[in-house]
Amino acid sequence: MKGTLRRSSIMDKLRREGAVAVGELARELDVSPATIHRDLRQLAEEGLVERVHGGARLVQPNEPSRSAWSDRRARNVAAKRQIAAEAVRMVEDGSTIFIDASTTCAALAAELASSSIGSLTLVTNSPAIAAEFDHENVHLIVTPGEVDQNLRMIGGRWTVEFIAGLKFATCFISALGITPEAGLSTAQRNIADVLGAVRAASARCVALIDSSKYGVQSMLPVAELGELDVVVMDDGLGERERAELRGAGARLVIAGITSLEEVLAATQASEVEG
């Protein structure tokens, strides 16, 4: 059973029963407990379920999805900081950049706020980043649109139209998952629409993805790997997975191990040989 169908089955069971156990789901769906844990983590990141010991429970409509943002932000903190420390080196002084509403990009914003950059125009659709950001040399612009309290993001038609009228030197984006076959993907249409508009308005697109998202494919495509200028990941990604992503066309930077310059040099050498 494909991941999207499996997660749909899990949600059907949650709506019937209110809570599920990892072991029971693994037996019913004939997959490993590790696979169920990944499914529940993805559903939690989408704000649909709350993780509890041994399983998950359904998030009720009247419950604010504080856990969806707060739990994501508290997860894989070291990996996100590692990625952010690498990504901040790709921000050019005097440029205009876009940073999306993901928690990985929030880590990049924190790095920028403590940097010595001389001047920068930063556009974001994240009310959380906007509320916390403080740097006297950075001109901060927040997109118009509808605030999604669950995802802590601004989206919708106004956001897409506003972004379409701008030009960015670099956009920094993230996604729910990454695979060699499907590239980046997400589960939310408003996220996919915003990221599509941002990519079209940017001279360079940098994806910031922590290694826990490898192998996760959601419903909506964000970008194929070859369409991204750079993919920055933490050093928790194994050698086999790195090779698979590079084989699928990713210009992959592993934070603290490979630099952007090394990746671009290797890409140029490969093109000359080809």
If one counts every other C-beta atom within 10 angstroms of the C-beta of residue 139, the result is 11
CATH (domain of 50): 1.10.10.10
* pLDDT score of 272: 44
d(C-alpha 238, C-alpha 35), whole Å? 18
d(C-alpha 259, C-alpha 263), whole Å? 6
The domain in which residue 94 lies consists of 74-273
Q: What mean pLDDT is predicted for residues 191-204?
A: 97
Contacts of 173 (CB under 8 A, 6+ apart): 98, 100, 102, 105, 184, 195, 198, 199, 205, 206, 207, 208, 222
- Tens digit of each residue's pLDDT (9 = 90 or more) over 81-122: 999 999 999 999 999 999 999 999 999 999 999 999 999 999
Confirm whether 68 is domain-assigned.
no
Q: What mean pLDDT is predicted for residues 121-149?
A: 95
CATH (domain of 115): 3.40.50.1360
**Number of domains within the chain:** 2
The two three-digit tokens of residue 139, written as one number:
């001109």
Residue closest to 42 by CA, chosen among 82, 10, 83:
10
What DSSP letter does each residue of 94-153 carry, written as one string?
T-EEEE-SSHHHHHHHHHHHTS--S-EEEEES-HHHHHH---TTEEEEE--SEEETTTTE
d(C-alpha 104, C-alpha 102), whole Å? 5
* pTM listed for this prediction: 0.77
| Whether the Cβ atoms of residue 237 and residue 254 lie closer than 8 Å to each other | yes
CA angle 47-52-54, nearest 5°? 130
Q: Answer yes or no: do 86 and 40 share one domain.
A: no
Q: Answer yes or no: do 48 and 135 share one domain.
A: no
The two three-digit tokens of residue 260, written as one number:
């952007």
Last residue of a domain, one of 19, 39, 63: 63
The two three-digit tokens of residue 41, written as one number:
């983590």
- Tens digit of each residue's pLDDT (9 = 90 or more) over 48-67: 888 888 888 887 665 544 44
* pLDDT score of 67: 45
If one counts every other C-beta atom within 10 angstroms of the C-beta of residue 256, the result is 12
